[in-house]
Structure 1
Amino acid sequence: MMVNVFSDGSVPPAVIAEAAERFGGCLFVVEPDDADAMALLPVLEELGDALVADSVEAFAAAFGDGTPAGVVAFADRSLRFASELARHYRLPGLSEKSAQWCRDKVAQRERLNACGVGDVRSAPMNDGVYPAEVPLPAVVKPRDGAGSEDTVFVHSEAEFRTLTSQINPHRPYVVEQFIEGVGAPFAPWLADQVSVESAVDAFGGVRHIGITLRTPLAEPARETGLVFPAVGGTELTDELLTLAADAIAAVEFTSGVTHIEFKIGPKGPVVIEVNGRLGGGLYRLMPQAATVEPVALAMALAAGEPLPEAFPVPVGHAMHYYAQPPFGAVAVTALPRSRQLLALPGVFRADQKIRAGAAIDWRTGSGGRVFDIWIEGPDLAELGDRKAAVDRFLEETITWEFE
C-alpha cells in the first residue's frame, strides 16, 4: 500500500488514489492540526484508507505489521512527516535536513547561497521591521507558504509597512531581495519566471522532465498560470537544467519529484525557490502534452524503483490558466458556466472554483482564483492566441464588486 501524507497541495486526492492502485491502494495520513485536510477525511475514506496521526509512533500503531510500498507527499507542509515515516520504514525519502531546506524558505536560501547556487539576500521578518541587510525592492512571502498566498512586492520601507499590515499577522514571513527579470524570453505573452521539473531516484539518478513556463503575475504578486513544456535545446534551457541539478544537490534531495522556480535575470536564471514535490497543475498538464504521468512517477520513485531510461518527447503544449480576480475586488457577482468555456478553441477542461456572489480576497494567492481553465495548443503561438480568446470572453462575462 502507498502512503500519502495528505494536505491540500498540488494533486487532488482522487488522482493520488488512482495512481496508488498499482501498489494495492492508498493510505491517506492526515495530521490532526491540518483543519482543511481533516475536513476532507470523509472524501479520503471513500477513495482509500485514511487515518489521523502526527507521529511515527501513532502511525505505526495504527498501521500494524508490515511496511508500506512507499511514502509520498504532494504538499509542502507534508514533507516533514513524510520524511520521518520514510526513514522509519527504511524507504526512499528525504533526510530531516533536506525536508527542512525544502520547506523553510529562510533555511533554504541560506543553504543555496552557501553552496554557490545564487547570491540572493534574505532575512526573516521580525516585529514588522524592515531588515536592513536586504536591499530594496524586495518580496515579502510566508516562510513556509505556497501558491503566492500573502505575498507582496515592496519598493520602499513605507510601502513595506503599509502592505505588511494587510497580510495575515499570525504567520512567519521572509523578506527577500527582488530578482530583476528580463521580460519575456520564451514568448511575448509569457513571463520571465519558469520552473524546472525533475525526478530523482534512490540510486543517485537525476533526470529532468521538462521546463514549465509562466504567465505574468497578477497584482500584487499572484500566479496566473503555467504552460508545459518549453522547447529545449537552447543556451538558456541548458543553463536552467544545469542550475536545477545544482539546486537539487545543494538541498540534498535524494528521492522524488522536484519543482524548482527561477527568474530569468539579465545575467541568467536565478533560483527563486526549491519545492520538494510536484508543481501544481502538472499532474494534468504533463499527460496532456503526451509525456510522463508525474504522480505515478513520484510513487514509483518512493517505492525504490529506478528512473526510466528516458521520458517521452512531449507533443504540443498545455496550459493551466488561473482566472484571477482583479486586485481590489471583494466579490464576484456574475460568472459564465463551465460549458461556455469548453466551447472556446483549445479549452479541454474548465473548473469553477467559487460561486457567483462569493467574497474574494487577493491574500489567498492562487487559491483565490475563480476558474481553473485548461487549454491545449500545437505550439506556443497558437496557445497564446487561445488564451487571449479566453481572456476576452472572461472580460465580457465576469463582473466584480469593489470596495
Structure 2
Amino acid sequence: MDDDNIDGVVLQFGSGFQPYREYLMEGAAKRRPLWLIDDEPAGWQQPYLAGSTVVLPLPGDGLVLDHKALLAAAESVAQAHQVRGVITYDEPSVIITALVADKLGLPGLTPEGAEGCRNKARTRQALTDAGLPQPRFAVVTTAEEAAAAAAEIGYPVVVKPRGMAASIGVALVDGPDGIADAFNRADGSSRNGPVEYHGGALIEELVDGPEISIDGAVVAGEYLPFCIAHKQLGPAPYFEEIGHLVDGNDPLLTDPELRELLRAAHAAIGAPYGITHTEVRFSARGPVVIEINGRLGGDLIPYVGKLATGIDPGTVLVEVAEGLRPALAADHRTCVGIRFCYPPEDCRVVEITVPAPGASPGLLEAHPMVATGATVRLPPRAHIGRHAYVICTADDPATCADRLSAAVDLVELKYDALNETEYSGRPW
C-alpha cells in the first residue's frame, strides 16, 4: 500500500495481548492506518495495518528490545511512506517510541520525558527539584541501604523497582523485619526488565489515602485529562490493582489544583507532548504524585473510560502523536467500573463460567482471562494472577461498586490447588 492510497501512516511499537489492547488499535486505525513494528508477525492486528515489520528482541530471555534494530526498521518505513506520528501503549516500548519520534522530527513524548517516566528514580528527583508534592524517597542498591533508608523515612514504607510497571515487585513494609525480603523482591523483579534499570530499588514514604489514575494528553505543555479512574487495591502488603471505577461526571476532571499539579509534573520531567498515565494519592496534605507512566493505562482502564464517556483513547493517542490538540468531547457521561477475579489460592484452572450481560443489574461484560489448564498464582509468587473480569455500569459510583461486587459473585471457578512448597518463576 502506498502513500497515495493511505495518506501516510502512524508507526506503532508493540501491540500487546489482544483481549486487553485490540480496542486501542481499532481506535487508532480510525484516525490513521498503522504500521506495526513488533517482535512477531502480525495476526489479529492485520485489519488495522497498512503494513508491519518484525524485529526480534536481543538474544537472551526475549524481553529486552533491540533499540538499534527498531530504529533502523522505523527509518526504513519512513523512506517508503510518509510517517505522521509514532505511538505505543506498551510499557517496554516507551523509550524507543520517543527516540524514533525525535529522530524523525515528529511530536510525541521526548526522550527526556520518556526516561522521566520509565526511570522512577529520575521521576522522583525531577519532582523534588520542582518542589512538587510526592513521597519522601531514597534510591538504594543493597538490603543494608534499604534498611537504613526505611529507618530514616519511617515505617511503613513502600519498596519498588526502578523501572517496572503494573505494581510488579512493589510491596508495603511495616517494620525492619520485612525490609530485606522486600528489597530482594524488588531488586530481582527489576532484572526482568531493561538492563538500564537492573538492580536496586526505591524506598518511599507510604502516602495514605485514596488513589486515582489519570489518562491525559499533553500538547505544547498543556495538560488535558480525559479519563480518571478510582483504584481499588487488594490486600496488603502488595499493591495489586483489583478494580477501577470511572465516573464520566467526576469533578476531579476540572479540579484546578489537580490539573495544575499534573501540568507542573509533566513540565518537570520534560514531557511537553505525549499521552501519559499518572497515579495520584490524596493525603492530608493534598494530592501527591505517585508515578507517571509514558503510555495509556493498562487494566482496560481507557476502555472503561470509553464506555463511560465515548472518548476513544486510541484516536486520542494518534491525534497527540500528530501534534494535534484533541477535542475530548464526551458524547455521554455515566459510571462504569471493572473488577478482576482472583482465585482463593494458587491453582490450575479446570473451568471458568462467567455470567451473560444483563445477568445482574448493570452488567455489561464478563470474560475469562485464562484458558483451561492455565496456572494462576497470587502475590508474592506472581502478579496479575487473575482468572476473569466483569464490567458494570450505573448512574453513580456507589451503585456501580455494588453492582461489580454482585457480578463477581456470579463468576464460577473450578480449579485444582497447586500446593507448591516452592516456586522459583518470575514474580509476575
Counterpart selection for 1:137 from 139, 147, 156:
156
Q: State the AA in 2 paired with 1:102.
A: C
Aligned counterpart, 1:186: none
Contact residue 32 and residue 318 of structure 2 kept, 8 A:
no
Deviation per CA, 1:141-198, whole angstroms, max 9, x where unpaired?
Answer: 222111112221112232122344556453435223233324xxxxxxxxx1112232
Matching residue of 1:298: 317
Q: 2: CA distance between counterparts of 1:114 and 1:10?
A: 40
Q: Deviations over 1:211-234 (max 9, x none)?
A: 221113344221111111274447
1:278 paired to 2:305: no
SS for the counterpart of 1:368 is coil
Q: In structure 1, how many angstroms separate the alpha carbons of the residues matched to 2:204 and 2:349? A: 38
The offset of 1:119, in angstroms, is 4.4
Q: Distance in 1 between matches of 2:41 and 2:367?
A: 19
Matched, 1:83 2:98: yes
Given the alignment of the two structures, is residue 331 of structure 1 paired with residue 347 of structure 2, yes or no?
Answer: yes
* CA deviation after TM superposition for structure 1 residue 16, in Å: 3.9
Instruction: Name which of structure 1's ranges 4-13 and 90-99 shifts more when overlaid on structure 2.
Output: 4-13
Task: Give the 3 Å change call, closer, same or farther, for CA 346–157 of structure 1 in structure 2.
Answer: same
Which residue among 406, 411, 414 is the counterpart of 1:389? 406
What is residue 116 of structure 2 aligned with on the other side? 101
Hey, what's the Cα distance between the residues in 2 that align with 1:265 and 1:204?
A: 26
Deviates more, 1:85-94 or 1:341-350: 341-350
* 1:178 equivalenced with 2:205 (yes/no): yes
Question: How many angstroms apart in 2 are the aligned matches of 1:347 and 1:366?
Answer: 26
Note if contact 1:151-1:365 (Cα within 8 Å) is conserved in structure 2. Answer: no
Give 1:244's aligned residue.
Answer: 262
Partner residue, 2:126: 111
Report which stretch shifted further, 235-244 or 379-388: 235-244
SS at match of 1:215: strand
Aligned length: 382
Give matches, 1:140-155, under 5 Å.
140-155=159-174
For the residues of structure 2 that align with 1:364 and 1:217, how far apart are their CA atoms?
A: 15
Matching of residue 2 in structure 1 with residue 17 in structure 2? no
Aligned to 1:185: none
Counterpart position of 2:25: 17
Q: Percent identity?
A: 21
Deviation at 1:72, TM superposition (A): 0.7
- Amino acid across the alignment from 1:284: Y
Query: Any stretches of 5+ residues in structure 1 without a counterpart?
Result: 31-37, 183-191
- Report the equivalent of 2:338: 320
2:396 to 371, 379, 397: 379
Confirm whether residue 28 of structure 1 aligns to residue 36 of structure 2. Answer: yes
Confirm or deny: 8 A CA contact 1:287 1:293 kept in the other structure.
yes
Hey, what's the Cα distance between the residues in 2 that align with 1:366 and 1:373? Answer: 19
Contact 1:8 1:75 in 2 (8 A): yes
Q: Aligned letter for 2:207? A: E
Partner of 1:189: none
1:50-65 to 2 correspondences below 5 Å: 50-53=52-55, 54-55=67-68, 56-65=71-80
Partners of 1:67 and 1:197 in 2: CA distance:
28
Give the deviation of 1:77 after TM superposition.
Answer: 1.7
Which of these residues, 230, 236, 241, is aligned with residue 223 of structure 1?
241
Distance 1:57 1:209 in 2: 34
Q: Give the Cα–Cα distance (whole angstroms) in 1 for the partners of residues 396 and 124 of structure 2.
A: 35
RMSD: 2.9
What letter matches 1:375 in structure 2? C
Q: Counterparts of 1:157-172 in structure 2 under 5 Å? A: 157-165=176-184, 168=188, 170-171=191-192, 172=199
Corresponding position of 1:265: 283
**How far is 1:305 from its partner?**
1.9
Q: Is the Cα–Cα contact under 8 Å of residues 223 and 365 in structure 1 kept in the other structure?
A: no
How far residue 382 of structure 1 moved from its aligned partner, in angstroms, is 1.4
- How far apart in 1 are the matches of 2:408 and 2:262? 33
Structure 2 unmatched runs, 5+:
1-8, 56-66, 193-198, 420-428
Offset, 1:399: 5.7
SS of the equivalent of 1:3 reads: strand
| Bigger mean CA offset, 66-75 vs 357-366 | 357-366
Q: How far has the Cα of 1:42 moved from its partner?
A: 4.0
| Residue aligned with 2:366, SS | strand
- The answer to whether structure 1 residue 351 and structure 2 residue 367 are counterparts is yes
**Counterpart residue type for residue 206 of structure 1:** Y
TM-score (norm. length: structure 1):
0.84
Offset of residue 200 of structure 1: 1.7
| C-alpha separation in 2, matches of 1:111 and 1:144 | 15
Q: Distance in 1 between matches of 2:269 and 2:286?
A: 21
User: Are 1:150 and 1:365, in contact at CA under 8 Å, matched by a contact in 2?
Assistant: no
Deviation at 1:325, TM superposition (A): 3.5
2:101 counterpart SS class: helix
The superposition leaves residues 114-140 of structure 1 with CA deviations (integer Å, 9 ceiling, x where unpaired) of 111124232334233343234232222
Q: What amino acid sits opposite 1:372 in the alignment? A: Y
In structure 1, C-alpha distance between the alignment counterparts of 2:337 and 2:41, rounded to whole Å: 27
Task: Report the counterpart of residue 34 of structure 1 in structure 2.
Answer: none
Task: Write the deviation string for residues 340-379 of structure 1: whole angstroms up to 9, x where unpaired.
Answer: 5762222211221123543222258663211122111111
1:218–1:224 CA contact under 8 A, matched in 2 = no
Rate the CA distance shift 1:162–1:376 in 2: closer, same or farther, 3 A.
Answer: same
Looking at structure 2, the residues matched to 256 and 21 of structure 1 have their Cα atoms a distance apart, in angstroms, of 18
Match for residue 84 of structure 2?
69
Deviation at 1:400, TM superposition (A): 6.8
| Amino acid across the alignment from 2:309 | A
After superposition, what is the alpha-carbon deviation per residue over 1:261-306, rounded to whole angstroms, capped at 9, x for unaligned?
0111122121100112111213311221124111101101111222
* Equivalent runs, 1:192-207 vs 2, <5 Å: 192-201=210-219, 203-207=220-224
| Aligned mates of 2:313, 2:388 — CA distance in 1 | 23
Contact 2:274 2:320 in 1 (8 A): yes
Whole-angstrom distance in 1 between the partners of 2:46 and 2:161: 31
Provide the residue aligned with 2:136 in structure 1. 121
